Amino acid sequence: MAFLLKCFGGCGSTSMQQPSTSATIEDLCHRFSLAQLRKSTNHFDSRLITHTDDFYRAYKGCISINGELKDVVVERLKGDFVDSDLQLVKNNIIYRCQLHHPNVVSLVGFCDDENEMIVVYDYPPNGSLRDQLNSKPPTISWKKRLEISIGVARGLHYLHSGTKRTLIHRDIKPTAILLDENWVPKITFCSFSLKGPKFSEKDVRPIEAMIIGTFGYIALDTFMTQNYTHKSDVYSYGAVLLELICGKPLMQLRRQNDFRDVKELRDLAETGHAEEIFDQSLMGQIAAGCWKLYMDITESCMSDDPDERPDMGEVEVLLERALQLQEEADNNLAFHAS
């Protein structure tokens, strides 16, 4: 296959803090006034919008914190919300302020003045994963994409199993993955995340809730039943994996190619249609063993049956193996070239 690299011949779990439930929101992060955030964004200037969604607009801002100017993202929920919605968001802020992981965005502060709900977090110098995939030409190599996918897997693993209760993100997609100055991926805050059962519970019941997310990243079983488990996030993550190798969202792929699932897409690629499906900038970069394992992982994450989808800890281990296979192939290629 032309897009594969021509070549010769463990779980990275992170120490996970368990948040306490006794802290108040003011104890955990800075409370900004609406006036401060208006000033920091030039009165929510549309030219400063970094991304937008059905539920929020995000602006680049610059604000003084403890006497130091800091570039931040100011994420403002759209529209008017009933008290129950605002309480859900506030509860999520309290919970998220207590989460500490290198692949999860740390909140700088929040604002709940005048029936607004705004969260503030560090500005990512390299933008979002969506920004990078949309750049012409794409700026991130295959190996860097693998490293980003592993970082996101670690962040999701932490949300699902690193605290006392599972946190279901509900909106995993490239715009929700920010890249810092070292290209380390960080999963952004989702205002309508769901706090699930204790991770230690064996009988994990789905949570019935309003559908939140982006079409193309929502599993069909979630969409049809409005039931969420951590496996809903796993499907969304699989769609991100597919986009990392194809360079385009699932819905665009389906408009351009006739396939039902990832297996059919793989079959198309392996029968001479790879150049129509995969990101052209990756041609010649992907080792055969890495490709096979990566697509196996993607296919399992996007299984129609949520029980067949792996947990994120397993995904993390398998992707680290895929990266190892890629590095071994690169080293072999460099050795023979020298």
- CATH number for the domain spanning 32: value is 3.30.200.20
Residue written as tokens 């194809």? 246
Ordered mean pLDDT values, 10 residues apiece, the chain (338 residues): 43 39 65 94 95 85 89 86 67 79 92 86 93 87 97 96 88 94 92 74 75 89 93 97 93 84 87 84 92 96 96 97 96 77
106/168 same-domain check: no
Is 171 considered catalytic here?
yes
Domain identity same for 138 and 113: no
- Tell whether 271 is covered by a domain: yes
Strands 286-287 and 4-5: parallel
Q: Is residue 9 part of a domain?
A: no
Last residue of a domain, one of 66, 88, 122: 122
Backbone angles phi, psi at 71, to 5 degrees: -75, 130
Residue 100 shares a structural domain with residue 243: no
Question: Does residue 239 share a domain with residue 183?
Answer: yes
Contacts of 196 (CB under 8 A, 6+ apart): 165, 166, 167, 168, 204, 207, 228, 229, 230
Domain count, the chain: 2
Residue 12 within any structural domain of the chain: no
Q: What is the pLDDT of residue 242?
A: 96
Instruction: Please check whether residue 156 lies inside any domain of the structure.
Output: yes
- Specify the pLDDT at position 25: 67
Q: Identify whether residues 151 and 247 lie together within a single domain.
A: yes
- Determine the pLDDT at residue 12: 36
Q: What domain range includes position 53? A: 26-122
Name the residue among 254, 241, 225 with its Cα closest to residue 310: 241
What pLDDT, on a 0 to 100 scale, did the predictor assign at position 4? 56
Please tell me the predicted confidence (pLDDT) of residue 20.
43
Q: What is the pLDDT of residue 3?
A: 47
Residues 198 and 317 in one domain: yes
Confirm whether 87 is domain-assigned: yes
d(CA 241, CA 258): 19
Q: Choose one of 105, 122, 139: the last residue of a domain.
A: 122
pLDDT of residue 9: 32
Residue-level pLDDT at 15: 36
159 and 266 together in one domain: yes
Residue 310 counted as domain residue? yes
Please say which residue of 68, 88, 122 terminates a domain.
122
- On whether both 217 and 324 belong to a single domain, the answer is yes
**Active site residue: 53, 171, 221, 233, which one?**
171
Task: Let me know whether 150 and 100 are in one domain.
Answer: no
Same domain? For 113 and 237 the reply is: no
